[in-house]
Amino acid sequence: MMKSTGLFFLLIVLAYAPSTAQEKAAATAALIPAPVEVKFGQGFFTLGKHTVIRADTGLAEEAALLNGFIRQQTGLTLAVSSKKPSISSIDLDIDPLRVKEPEGYQLLISSDAIRITGHDGAGILYGIQTWRQLWQHSPVGALSVKACIINDYPRFAYRGMHLDVSRHFFSVAFIKKYIDLLSLYKLNTFHWHLTDDQGWRIEIKKYPRLQSVAAWRDETLIGHKKEWPHRFDGKRYGGYYTQEQVKEVVRYATARHITVIPEIEMPGHALAALSAYPQLGCTGGPYKAATCWGIFDDVFCAGKDSVFTFLQDVLDEVMELFPSTYLHVGGDECPKQRWAACPHCRKRMQEEHLANEHELQSYFIKRISRYIDSKGRHLIGWDEILEGGLAPGATVMSWGGIEGAISAARQHHHVIMTPEDELYFDHYQSLYPAEPLAAGGYTSLKDVYNYQPLPDTADRQLLPYITGIQGQLWSEYLPTPEQAEYMLMPRAMALAERAWSPETRKSYPDFLSRLRSQKKMLDNIPVNSAGNFDEINYTVLAVNKGSIRITLRSDMPGGKIYYSTDGSRPGLKSRLYKGPVNINQAVLLRAALYNGGKPVGRIFEQSFHIHKAIGASVALQNAPTSKYGGPASKLVNGIYGVHRYNDQQWMGFSGNDLEAVIDLEKVQPIKVVGANILQYHWQRMWAPVWLQFAVSVDGIHYKTIARQDEYPVNGINKVRIKLQGITARYIKVTGINKGIIPLGEYGAGANSLLMIDELIVN
């Protein structure tokens, strides 16, 4: 290790006086995640053909990576030496006394040298990646970077991204590209989701039918699973990674200081495995790998010892391939219907004194956990491993909300935050109708950036158990690498900043400024990164009697919005947006974003509907679900929910009936009543058994005036009932929930969800 004197570093630091805000903004424009501390000096370091890389002992791989990046940018291959040259140099040193934080680094750039000092090899690599990001304004053939000193280290030890390869299979080349992107933005864990109902993707030599049978499905769903009837492409689909390919990926990731955590799903999401070895299920099959998406009743039998023998054999081979401390076993979304009817499972419950199937799942996970622990490894699973009691030493990936994380942390288990609402990148990132098909939900770039691992109201003493955060990229609707990249980037960059940068550095406008400057680098890689974060959006300021007041906005600096309310295409001759817009009649509002007189992005469109109940008081008898909740007033806000049900307009009632009373404040003629009802049985959304409208003049005595019990559309059913001779002040709308989903239907045994949007009165 080459040491520098304290005097040398003192002189260097004194040369880096605090810069002006303008200098800082210009010099850090490329850096994501934002570093802990940056100071800028005078002059530039310019790399040339005589520059030498001097690497500390043990840093050969980091030096090789650096040389590869330089060669890609300039065509030059630099000499590598263990001795300090007299000419221009890039020095790589490990010094845990100077850089105390694990994975931390100091990047020091002067006119004649660059010195990257790391706490460890990972810190060296992250210093290289920071310098690499500063290159992006340099022309090809010259790397000239402003003098600076950067001290940096991560906020969280675990910074991860997940990729599901079961639903859609990705090549080794793409997996390497994925890993490169994680490394570029200082994410240090790749969670590789290798098995699920739709395909088994890893070679297990002891069980060859996992390759010949479980790795393939007969065909694949076309469109979204909510659509009915389902359509399929009729094409056999599949593939798997050989053990040599897995080793290749692990080596590639390790060189970039990325840990690869494999996930082998159990006890649920097992249809592909059961298709190859049907004796491992409760019924004995026959089974087939799933051709559509969802949760399926057939799972590994918890009552057969042969199942545990199989899984232990699988894990033995997996552990030979992956050196990671952690092994992920899934444990999520495991239906219990087969277990409840299985004599083997009932016998197991009796012998182990288990009260119910939830405790049987806990038995399953704990048994697997003990086996993994015996091999010197540790188990990770999703929230559901909490059911029936958590296995000692297990780590929880909390995807269902904050409750599971708090529960695990209070039991002194480590938690990795993976919440569905904020960190699932298979969700739509824009509400524009032109967005490509996605799983559902809506997770904007801003949602990801503003994510807090624990809300301020949570017990802050639990924070030490929050090991880190991770984004999820499920692949049901990612048929190509390009679509995977589109959904990943730039949301993974926002995730990286939240995982690495200090909370005090949080600034979304500043992040966007740095993100825009990254476009050239991403284009050169190339990466199909989404660019929709500057597009126009809107906010409802107020809903009053007969009018809606909204604002339009864009995050683009200097952007101007032009809009129309007559359905025409907006342009420079349309109205310039200067402030809130009042809407007092049914309109289609369209808006266009311009920058420098040129149109940017897609046209924004939103319909608004005015009727007598707009802005009226609404009282609900039963509370909606938290996911599809919100104030009752959104039922009469004049904005109709869309078929993607991700725009916060729909209200959902799980197992409960709808009863809403609208107060129009005065008795008046009523000619039309109606509602929008969402029906997607493959999303467990069922229309009400019947929908009834009743009216009253005093709010006490009601008269039924209309009833609807037919809903022919798989999608949005627009109920509109014309009336004659009716006057009223109060309208009561009652919807009877379907209740428990019947046998033979998707989600049988669970509560159905009654989804309703606008309650219309005219």
The pLDDT tens digits of the residues spanning 447-500 come to 999 998 877 656 777 888 899 999 999 999 999 999 999 999 999 999 999 999
Could you tell me the pLDDT band of residue 83, with boundaries at 50, 70 and 90? confident
Q: How far is the CA of 264 from the CAs of 121, 204, 305, 328, 419, in angstroms?
A: 30, 12, 18, 6, 20
- Report pLDDT for 417: 94
Average pLDDT over every residue of 560-583:
96
Nearest to 398 by CA among 410, 373, 380: 380
What kind and span of H or E run contains 552? strand 547-553
- On the question of pLDDT at 699 being above 80, the answer is yes
pLDDT of 18: 44
Q: How confident is the model at residue 140 (pLDDT cuts 50, 70, 90)?
A: low
The pLDDT tens digits of the residues spanning 710-740 come to 999 999 999 999 999 999 999 999 999 999 9
**Share of residues in the chain with pLDDT > 90 (%):** 84
Token pair for 254: 């390790």
Question: What pTM was computed for the model?
Answer: 0.94
642-670 average pLDDT score: 97
Q: Indicate if the alpha-carbon torsion angle 124, 129, 134, 140 is positive or negative.
A: positive
Return the SS3 of 357.
Answer: helix
The model's confidence at residue 7, banded by pLDDT at 50, 70 and 90, is very low
Tell me whether residue 414 is one of the annotated catalytic residues.
Answer: no
CB atoms within 10 A of CB 242: 13
Q: What is the mean pLDDT of residues 284-288?
A: 97
Taking the C-alpha atoms of residue 693 and residue 720, their distance in angstroms, rounded to an integer, is: 11
Give the pLDDT score at 462.
Answer: 80
* Nearest by Cα to 756 from 608, 632, 617: 632
Peptide bond just before 631 cis, omega within 30 deg: no
Give the integer Cα–Cα distance in Å for 283 and 270: 13
- Report all structural domains of the chain as residue ranges with CATH numbers, in order of start: 6-152 (3.30.379.10), 158-413+462-468 (3.20.20.80), 535-608 (2.60.40), 617-761 (2.60.120.260)
Q: What is the pLDDT of residue 388?
A: 67
Q: What is the pLDDT of residues 178-215, one digit of tens each?
A: 999 999 999 999 999 999 999 999 999 999 999 999 99
Q: What are phi and psi of 592, to 5 degrees?
A: -130, 145
- Mean per-residue pLDDT, 42-50: 90
HSE-CB for 486 with a 13 A CA cutoff: 17
Q: What is the predicted pLDDT for the residue at 8?
A: 40
Give residue-wise pLDDT tens across range 428-448.
999 999 999 999 999 999 999
Q: For residue 518, which of 500, 530, 506 has the smallest C-alpha distance?
A: 530
Specify the range with the lowest mean pLDDT, choosing from 136-145, 320-329, 368-377.
136-145
* Pair type for strands 658-679 and 715-735: antiparallel
Contacts of residue 518, defined as CB under 8 A and 6 or more positions apart, other chains included, come to 30, 32, 133, 136, 490, 493
The catalytic position among 62, 196, 265, 757 is 196
The active-site residue, picked from 95, 180, 333, 659, is 333
Q: What distance in Å separates the CA atoms of residue 487 and residue 481, rounded to the nearest whole number?
A: 10
Which of 269, 328, 414, 611 is catalytic? The answer is 269
Other Cβ atoms less than 10 A from the Cβ of 253: the count is 25
Beta strand ranges found along 129-204 (DSSP E): 143-152, 158-164, 189-193, 195-196, 199-200
Planar angle of CA 261, 271, 291, nearest 5 degrees: 100
Three-class secondary structure of residue 339 per DSSP: helix
Among the ranges given (82-86, 316-320, 420-424, 491-495), the one the predictor scored with the smallest mean pLDDT: 82-86
Q: What percent of the chain has pLDDT over 70?
A: 94
Neighbour count for residue 80 (Cβ, 10 Å): 17
Mean pLDDT score across all residues of the chain = 93
pLDDT surpassing 80 at residue 512: yes
| 11 — pLDDT class (breaks 50, 70, 90) | very low
Query: Would you place residue 21 in the very low, low, confident or very high pLDDT band (cuts 50, 70, 90)?
Result: very low
Whether the link from the prior residue into 712 is cis, omega within 30° of 0, is no
What's phi and psi for 554, nearest 5 deg?
A: -145, 150
Q: Name residue 410's amino acid.
A: R
How far, in Å, CA of 375 to CA of 552, rounded? 57
What is the average per-residue pLDDT within 308-336?
Answer: 97
Would you place residue 3 in the very low, low, confident or very high pLDDT band (cuts 50, 70, 90)?
A: very low
Is there a catalytic annotation at residue 333?
Answer: yes
| pLDDT for residue 137 | 63
How confident is the model at residue 457, as a pLDDT?
A: 56
Of the candidate ranges 302-311, 516-525, 526-535, the one whose mean pLDDT is the lowest = 516-525
Q: Is 196 a catalytic residue?
A: yes
pLDDT, one tens digit per residue, over 111-135 is 989 999 999 999 999 999 999 998 8
What are the pLDDT digits (tens) for 578-629? Answer: 999 999 999 999 999 999 999 999 999 999 999 999 999 999 999 999 999 9
Task: Please state the rounded mean pLDDT for residues 342-368.
Answer: 96
- Alpha-carbon distance values, 725 to 545, 670, 707, 722 (Å): 23, 8, 17, 10
Q: Catalogue the E-assigned strands of 318-387.
A: 326-330, 378-382
Q: CB of 490 within 8 A of CB of 513?
A: no
